[in-house]
Amino acid sequence: MGKVIAIANQKGGVGKTTTSVNLAACLAVAEYPTLLIDIDPQANSTSGLGFNSGELKNKTIYEVIINEEKIADFLLSTDLSYLKLLPSSINLVGAEVELVSAISREQRLLRALEQVRADYEYILVDCPPSLGLLTINALTASDSVLIPIQCEYYALEGLGQLLNTIRLVQKHLNEHLAIEGVLLTMYDARLNLSRQVAEDVRRYFEGRVFKTVINRNVRLSEAPSFGKPIILYDAVSAGSENYMSLAEEIIQNGEQKSVGQRA
């Protein structure tokens, strides 16, 4: 069964989509069958892999979440043979209102993934910058949550709310939800602020912060406008190296847990 990882933080601009697209691509390059689910109405993961969400019409996650259609009917092939995408679109904006009175509204994605989970090693879910029903669906369906944190002022602001939401999901909807790790993004070692924020985050999340840090990188910022993950846009860039390192760290963490469970 594939491991499901939600990439979540209700703050915008922290690198959720950049991490979702590039981590998924790097796992795929390593030949791990990977599914990226875009559950953000902004559909940036969708465009980041070269698709125009406006042209997808009724072929997105909206049909899976709201109409409970089969997820396999809406998956798109990408430029990487081991990577598939469940795209999003602006239609998802009203989904939370439509779900309010729905039966098992928090478990729509969980039930949908039962159909395809065995087909993938990794399933990544790019969450919207909110803690509404779409993010709750992602957390309910996931084994773990990866939290990107930008190395800027107020980095830790609002994290208490996210952690409280995770605890509530663990208590009422998904007791096995774990924190995969905290990822420092947009790091610039030349800046005192970046170094201080990194130190604060490591102190706050003792033992839960990835060794890999995502450095500020121009090529990484350019890649989405070309509809490509950084590994295809510039494979030798620092951004590509950073996300390959993150993928390796996640793979190793999974292998260590598997060994521990067998022991």
Q: Give 112-160 pLDDT, tens digit per residue.
A: 999 999 999 999 999 999 989 999 999 999 999 999 999 988 878 878 8
Q: In this predicted structure, what is the pLDDT of residue 263?
A: 43
Question: What are the tokens at 179?
Answer: 């924190």
Task: Check residues 181 and 260 and name the one with the higher pLDDT.
Answer: 181
pLDDT at 86 over 90: yes
Q: Where are the domains of the chain?
A: 3-262
Q: Return the CATH architecture of domain 3-262.
A: 3-Layer(aba) Sandwich (3.40)
Q: Give the percent of the chain with pLDDT over 90.
A: 80
Q: In this predicted structure, what is the pLDDT of residue 28?
A: 98
pTM for this one? 0.95
The 10s digit of each residue's pLDDT in 147-192 is 999 998 887 887 889 999 999 999 999 999 999 999 999 999 999 9
Q: What is the pLDDT confidence band of residue 104, given thresholds at 50, 70 and 90?
A: confident
Query: Picking from 30-44, 85-99, 208-222, which range would have the lowest pLDDT averaged per residue?
Result: 85-99
Mean pLDDT for 224-246 is 97
**Tokens 């996210």 -> residue:** 162
Mean pLDDT for 221-249 is 97
Q: What is the pLDDT confidence band of residue 10, given thresholds at 50, 70 and 90?
A: confident
Mean pLDDT for 26-55 is 96
pLDDT at 262 over 50: no
Q: What is the pLDDT confidence band of residue 102, given thresholds at 50, 70 and 90?
A: confident
pLDDT at 11 over 80: yes
Q: In this predicted structure, what is the pLDDT of residue 158?
A: 79
